[in-house]
């Protein structure tokens, strides 16, 4: 997520130069081959129904799960119950649960969620523990309550609704187990999810509404009731799902490499900037970032321009942006930052709650690199967060450092990576980063994985240790 002014108070708004810009980078990364998705990754069928009103989404989900270690329960995260969303009036409520075709009594844990909600952890006990390789199917019904004019990832206003991470998300981390870190009172992403095959995404809407989704669009069919329609999507491997519904003006463009960009904004909103101009900026960011890191990871990119979005929020293959005009302060930074997230957290996952630098610092660094905008002088970092790049969201949610989260992770983290690139040379650093992306594609990476990728660059590792990103 990007809130460049509020999150990065130490980052100069006018960037005065760059160190190690893309002009001296290694050859373009078009020949990079990513690791393949796990063949036994979870399979998800997801259905959202908005036919009764835009302030409430009725949903149901089926998950087919294969364990890679012994498990005796299934754990889902209700990320929409984090404090900021609930305080605005949003809530995710589970209404029905079953495992292997049998109804089960769920157990809920707050894990940081307000007491008014079911919590942020949903646990479904299994009748018999699953051995490694064991397979089971669960079904969850839910209602997502949307608040009006929410400056966050879910909300509604007028003839518009938007929601990302708005369903019970399987909390499995392959090789690590269930991710149960708490939601915290801090702006920003804090999720963790293995990739899953989105076998089916169905969005049921009044037939006058357009739908921006996630993955490959499969077209529209008549809905279950007169005057309704069903929009269908699928995706081979994603970690999350985002949807925008409403009276929309839309635009599509084919990018080099066969990527289709889909843009949409509310029809009732006066056009701040032409959609084709938005597409120009998105195309530039995609092409330049792909040249630096490797091919864009998805066949489609869905871009929603929302009047209530704070600035930019990323999801795998989808982005929510505030509808800003070209030339607006931090516009190009905003676009390239969120596009960089398609690689960092989209393609290469991480636990955003425990190691947020693995996506936010890398996205900020990549944004500055492709925009030739790395500051000559690193931004000032408040003393309380100096050397704490690798701290968790819970650490940064403490009152004494809460307002320094952006400076400590985004700004300081990007400066750390730029310094490491200078220390080892751009060609070596760029090659090692590309290899990290290729090897960790479709996985959940850890700080240890990042350190392992740079084992042959001890100067870089020393800098990462000094900044507190990795251990000794």
Residues 460 and 447 in one domain: yes
Element spanning 424, H or E: helix 412-424
Tell me if 82 is assigned to some domain: yes
Residues 7 and 53 in one domain: no
Residues 54 and 95 in one domain: yes
Residues 207 and 114 in one domain: yes
Q: Determine the 3-state secondary structure of 2 from DSSP.
A: strand
Q: What is the CATH number of the domain that holds 170?
A: 2.60.40.1730
Residues 241 and 384 in one domain: no
Task: Count up the domains in the chain and report the number.
Answer: 2
Residues 33 and 124 in one domain: no
**In a structure prediction context, what are the per-residue pLDDT tens digits for the chain, which is 472 residues long?**
544 433 443 333 223 234 344 434 444 566 789 999 999 999 999 999 999 999 999 999 999 999 999 999 999 999 999 999 999 999 999 999 999 999 999 999 999 999 999 999 999 999 999 999 999 999 999 999 999 999 899 999 989 999 999 999 999 999 999 999 999 998 888 999 999 999 999 999 999 999 999 999 999 999 999 999 999 999 999 999 999 999 999 999 999 889 999 999 999 766 678 899 999 999 999 999 999 999 999 999 999 999 888 889 999 999 999 887 655 655 667 899 999 999 999 999 999 999 999 999 999 999 999 998 888 777 889 999 999 999 999 999 999 999 999 999 999 999 999 999 999 999 999 999 999 999 999 999 999 999 999 999 999 999 999 999 999 7
Q: Where does a domain end: 213, 234, 262? A: 262
**Does residue 417 contact residue 12 with C-beta atoms inside 8 Å?**
no
pLDDT at 208: 96
Residues forming a β-bridge with 459: none
Residues 47 and 34 in one domain: no
Q: Which long-range contacts (CB under 8 A, 24 or more apart) does 420-425 make?
A: 420/454, 420/457, 420/459, 420/460, 420/463, 420/464, 421/20, 421/460, 422/19, 422/20, 423/459, 423/460, 423/463, 424/457, 424/459, 424/460
Tell me if 321 is assigned to some domain: no
pTM metric for this prediction: 0.93
10 Å Cβ neighbour count for 288? 20
Q: Which of 318, 369, 463, 379 is nearest to 7 (CA)?
A: 379
- Segments forming the whole domain that contains residue 417: 1-38+347-472
In this structure, the dihedral spanned by the alpha carbons of residues 144, 266, 239 and 5, taken in order and rounded to 10 degrees, is -100
Tell me if 66 is assigned to some domain: yes
Q: Which of 283, 287, 322, 282 is nearest to 305 (CA)?
A: 322
Backbone angles phi, psi at 286, to 5 degrees: -65, -50
> If you write DSSP's letter for every residue of 191-258 in order, what string do you get?
-----EEEEEEEEEEETT-EEE-SSEEEEEEE-SSTTEEEEEEEEEEES--EEEEESEEEEEEEETTT
pLDDT at 458: 98
Residues 24 and 162 in one domain: no
Tell me if 332 is assigned to some domain: no
Residues 168 and 255 in one domain: yes
Q: Which of 328, 320, 399, 393 is nearest to 360 (CA)?
A: 393
Tell me if 325 is assigned to some domain: no
CA 142 to mean position of chain CA atoms? 22
Q: Where does a domain end: 262, 293, 317? A: 262
Tell me if 338 is assigned to some domain: no
Residues forming a β-bridge with 197: 43
Residues whose CB falls within 8 Å of the CB of residue 387, separated by 6 or more in sequence, listed in order: 466, 467, 468
Q: What is the CATH number of the domain that holds 407?
A: 1.10.390
Q: Which of 177, 72, 68, 69 is nearest to 129 (CA)?
A: 72
Burial of 449 (0-12, 13-18, 19+ CB in 10 A): middle
Residues 27 and 153 in one domain: no
Residues 31 and 94 in one domain: no
Helices (H), 245-313: 275-293
Residues 207 and 142 in one domain: yes
Tell me if 17 is assigned to some domain: yes
Largest CA distance in the chain: 65
Residue 375 CA to residue 330 CA, distance in Å, equals 14
Q: Where does a domain end: 262, 295, 315? A: 262
Tell me if 341 is assigned to some domain: no
Q: Are strands 444-445 and 349-350 parallel, antiparallel or unpaired?
A: parallel
């Amino acid at each position: 997520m990007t809130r460049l002014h509020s999150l990065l108070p130490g980052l100069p708004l006018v960037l005065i130069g760059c160190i190690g810009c893309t002009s001296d980078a290694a050859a373009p990364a078009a020949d990079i081959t990513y690791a393949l998705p796990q063949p036994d990754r979870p399979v998800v069928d997801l259905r959202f129904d908005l036919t009764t009103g835009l302030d409430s989404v009725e949903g149901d989900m089926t998950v087919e799960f294969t364990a890679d270690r012994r498990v005796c329960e299934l754990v889902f995260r209700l990320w929409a119950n984090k404090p900021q969303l609930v305080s605005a009036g949003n809530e995710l409520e589970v209404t029905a649960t079953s495992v292997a075709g049998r109804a089960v009594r769920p157990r809920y844990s707050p894990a940081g969620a307000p007491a008014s909600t079911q919590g942020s952890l949903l646990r479904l006990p299994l009748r018999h523990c699953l051995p490694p390789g064991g397979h089971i199917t669960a079904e969850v019904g839910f209602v997502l309550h949307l608040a009006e004019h929410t400056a966050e990832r879910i909300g509604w206003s007028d003839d518009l609704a938007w929601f990302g991470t708005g369903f019970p998300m399987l909390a499995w981390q392959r090789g690590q187990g269930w991710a149960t870190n708490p939601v915290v009172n801090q702006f920003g992403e804090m999720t963790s999810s293995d990739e899953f095959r989105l076998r089916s995404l169905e969005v049921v809407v009044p037939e006058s509404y357009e739908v921006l989704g996630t993955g490959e669009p499969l077209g529209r069919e008549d809905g279950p009731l007169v005057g309704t329609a069903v929009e269908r999507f699928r995706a081979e491997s994603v970690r999350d799902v985002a949807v925008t519904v409403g009276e929309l003006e839309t635009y599509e463009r084919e990018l080099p490499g066969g990527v289709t960009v889909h843009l949409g904004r509310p029809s009732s909103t006066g056009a701040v900037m032409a959609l084709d101009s938005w597409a120009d900026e998105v195309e530039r960011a995609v092409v330049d970032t792909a040249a630096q890191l490797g091919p864009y990871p998805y066949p489609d990119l869905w871009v929603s321009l929302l009047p209530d979005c704070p600035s930019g929020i990323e999801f795998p293959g989808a982005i929510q942006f505030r509808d800003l005009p070209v030339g607006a302060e931090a516009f190009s930074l905003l676009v390239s930052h969120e596009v960089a997230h398609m690689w960092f957290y989209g393609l290469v996952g991480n636990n955003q709650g425990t190691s947020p630098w693995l996506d936010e610092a890398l996205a900020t660094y990549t944004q500055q690199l492709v925009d030739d905008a790395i500051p000559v002088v690193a931004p000032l970092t408040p003393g309380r967060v100096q050397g704490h790049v690798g701290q968790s969201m819970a650490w940064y949610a403490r009152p004494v450092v809460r307002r320094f989260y952006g400076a400590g992770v985004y700004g300081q983290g990007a400066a750390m990576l730029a310094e490491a690139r200078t220390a080892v040379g751009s060609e070596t650093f760029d090659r090692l980063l590309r290899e990290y992306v290729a090897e960790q594609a479709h996985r959940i990476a850890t700080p240890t994985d990042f350190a392992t990728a740079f084992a042959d660059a001890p100067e870089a590792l020393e800098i990462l240790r000094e900044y507190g990103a990795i251990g000794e």
